[in-house]
Amino acid sequence: MSMPRVIISGGGTGGHIFPAISIAQEIKQRYPNAEILFVGAKDKMEMEKVPQAGFPIEGLWIAGIQRKINFQNLLFPIKLVASLLKAKQIIKKFKPNIAIGTGGFASGPLLKMANSMNLPTLLQEQNSFAGVTNKWLAKDANSICVAYKGMEKFFPDQKIRITGNPIRSKILAVQDYTEKNAQQEAKKQFDLDSESPVLLVVGGSLGARRINQLLASKLDFIKENNVQILWQTGKFYIDEYKNLETKQVKVSAFIMNMEKAYQAADFIISRSGAGAVSELCVVGKPVIFIPSPNVAEDHQTKNAHSIVNENGAICITENDLEDAFKTEFKALINDLEKQKKLSSNIKKMAKPKATSHIVDEVEKHWNFKL
């Protein structure tokens, strides 16, 4: 029996890698005999995360252009040519039916070469501001799956499909994050009082220095308002903040069972990376986004505003935290109607079947017949 052969490329950050893995898992679920090969950048996190998920990966000698002039930038043209040649070899050997790109520099040479070899290609763009690589590849792609409206600014309109971003299956498995008994049980699991409100604070898997600093400086204010705190500092900051743990404040480097943390939360403070935003739409709790200013094209602010513009969340920039945080937080926790409205509106933007819709689109284009 013939089986589909799919090559997937994307990486550099979790925001590109985990959607790629989710797409691969959905293909495997539909076609257990499917052959899937990942292509990433050597020495980047995909070389570790993809094999952990059970898929083979090949590495290319590619890296992005740095903003400051250095030796690595001088090597870029050489790396690009070498990566294009290696990508051609990989494609000729693997003979895929389609190539899928989820962004990041590694996907550039692979998808560019796939197009030149007349392979169908599909792009998945997570952010509301398109990445450089996907913009470069868009002209020749068969379909471009996006999470936000208004992406015709970056891509050919007729190729855009609004599917949403892939979401971790554990997050999707929770039927109702607001169910009262389940929320009380989740609070008990974190050794928190089941009746008092909980603020969940996450700054991405590695943590966010500015959010941690904010929380440390506002702990007394938050506790005075009878709010408990579930605080993920990130592994680089745990030693600095672990000593602030009390009965009312739970501090950890990384929360493994994030679905339970979402369930326990009454309010959430988060960065606004594409993956986090997509998950928080499914969770449907009142959110204060604090976008990272240290990302390409300030895309986290644009992600956050796509929700704020629908009255689905609050956004405070890092520059405004000192002036605005206390006022915004107090207004939120004291206004039940505002909480309900934010929750209802952000949930309307959820796309829990995103991965399935993306693979539906893959099936339309791949050179494969059962």
Distance separating alpha carbons of residues 31 and 119, to the nearest angstrom: 20
Instruction: Pick the closest to residue 366 from 2, 67, 1, 5 (CA basis).
Output: 5
Strands (E), 106-225: 121-125, 143-146, 160-162, 198-202
Query: Coil, helix or strand for 122?
Result: strand
255 marked ligand binding residue: yes
Whether 306 has a binding-site annotation, put simply, is no
Strand order in the sheet with 267-270: 249-252, 228-232, 198-202, 267-270, 287-289, 314-315
Name the packing angle between helices 321-333 and 209-224 (round to 10°): 50
C-alpha 304/C-alpha 313 separation (Å) is 8
Instruction: Give the gyration radius of the chain's Cα atoms.
Output: 21
Distances (CA, A) of 146 to 53, 131, 162, 354: 24, 12, 5, 10
* C-beta neighbour count of 125 within 10 angstroms: 27
14 marked ligand binding residue: yes
Tell me: is residue 205 an annotated ligand-binding position: yes
User: What tokens were used for 214?
Assistant: 């904010």
Is 64 assigned a ligand-binding role in the annotation? no
| The two three-digit tokens of residue 151, written as one number | 């992406």
Phi then psi for residue 204, to 5 deg, are 90, 165
Beta strand pairing call for 314-315 and 35-41? unpaired
Tell whether residue 7 is among the known ligand binding residues: no
> Is residue 279 within 8 Å of 168, Cβ to Cβ?
yes
Residue 103, annotated as binding a ligand: no
Write the DSSP symbol of residue 359. Answer: H
DSSP H or E stretch at residue 40: strand 35-41
Token pair, residue 160, equals 């855009």
Pick out the residues of the known binding site.
13-15, 127, 168, 205, 255, 300
Pick out the residues of the known binding site for UDP-N-acetyl-alpha-D-glucosamine.
13-15, 127, 168, 205, 255, 300
